[in-house]
């Protein structure tokens, strides 16, 4: 159904393209961070926390993935959640009016719900961060670096990724609930849990299948980064290429996850009448 809707209303992709463009701008700024005028902003903290060598080519590319990760978090907190809310409003308009969705009107609609939207994203992000990093840090801290510990670390890592997908499935309907039904932060989460409970398997599939592409992209990026580090500094610029590819992958996966679950939310809402 999502693909049919996209074929009929391709403007649904506008929020995700805007988000991708913004992340591209963030990557561009970070690419030039050792140079003026960006060096005046990024230079002092990078020198203080990481060392002066990361302000010079080619070592700046070793730090770039970490800086871009922080940049993505900031980009999502500012523009990203607004774009997610905008997409929810556009899907709602298609279902309720059957007309091509308005871009400007739905941006305003999302901006008015910014605080609860960003709250849901932050809660999901923090829980996911704890799941992904907490158990791994405990294993590395309290266990000897044996073969068993390494295997356990891999199992925990992949299990954590699956758990994060399921967490997203639990919270995903809070976005349309907040925008379409004007639910508050807590009511939006409660509404999401209620819907996820009734269609959890379908929701899990709608979230997990596209997110597998994210995981594949991250694994390839890590492998490429490792290969770059081994041959460093022969071709450090490959880091920028991989990060740009990840932006494209995120555009695809975010659009599939948010649009498909928003469609399901509207269908559930119609059956409740």
N-to-C CA span, the chain: 21
Give just the sign of the alpha carbon dihedral 70, 72, 78, 82. negative
Q: How confident is the model at residue 226 (pLDDT cuts 50, 70, 90)?
A: low
Grade residue 191 by pLDDT with cuts at 50, 70 and 90. Answer: very high
Token readout for 101 is 């969705």
Q: Rounded distance, CA 129 to CA 141, Å? A: 18
Sorted by where each begins, the domain ranges of the chain are 2-271
What is the per-residue pLDDT for 228? 53
pTM for the full predicted model: 0.91
pLDDT in tens, 151-164: 888 899 889 999 99
Can you tell me the distance from the alpha carbon of 96 to that of 5, in angstroms, rounded to the nearest whole number? 14
pLDDT score, position 90 = 96
Confidence of residue 273 (pLDDT cuts 50, 70, 90): low
Q: What is the pLDDT of residue 223?
A: 67
Per-residue pLDDT at 159: 92
Hey, which of 30-44, 50-64, 232-246, 254-268 has the most confident mean pLDDT?
254-268
Residue where the block lists tokens 């499935």: 169
């Amino acid at each position: 159904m999502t693909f049919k809707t996209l074929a009929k209303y391709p403007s649904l992709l506008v929020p995700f393209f805007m988000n991708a463009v913004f992340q591209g701008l963030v990557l561009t700024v970070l690419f030039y961070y050792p140079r003026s005028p960006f060096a005046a902003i990024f230079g002092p903290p990078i020198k203080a926390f990481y060392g002066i060598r990361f302000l010079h080519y080619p070592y700046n590319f070793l730090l770039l993935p970490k800086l871009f990760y922080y940049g993505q978090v900031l980009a999502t907190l500012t523009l990203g959640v607004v774009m997610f809310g905008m997409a929810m409003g556009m899907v709602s308009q298609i279902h309720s009016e059957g007309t091509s969705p308005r871009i400007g009107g739905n941006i305003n609609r999302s901006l008015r719900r910014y605080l609860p939207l960003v709250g849901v994203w932050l809660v999901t992000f923090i829980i996911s961060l704890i799941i992904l990093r907490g158990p791994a840090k405990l294993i590395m801290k309290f266990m000897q670096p044996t073969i068993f510990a390494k295997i356990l670390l891999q199992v925990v890592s992949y299990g954590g990724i699956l758990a994060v997908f399921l967490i997203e499935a639990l919270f995903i309907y809070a976005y349309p609930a907040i925008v379409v039904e004007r639910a508050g932060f807590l009511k939006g989460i409660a509404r999401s849990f209620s819907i996820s409970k009734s269609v959890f398997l379908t929701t899990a599939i709608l979230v997990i299948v596209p997110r597998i592409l994210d995981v594949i992209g991250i694994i390839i990026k890590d492998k490429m980064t490792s290969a770059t580090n081994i041959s460093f500094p022969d071709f450090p610029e490959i880091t920028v290429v991989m990060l740009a590819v990840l932006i494209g992958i995120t555009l695809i996966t975010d659009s599939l996850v948010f649009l498909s679950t928003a469609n399901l939310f509207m269908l559930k809402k119609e059956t409740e009448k």
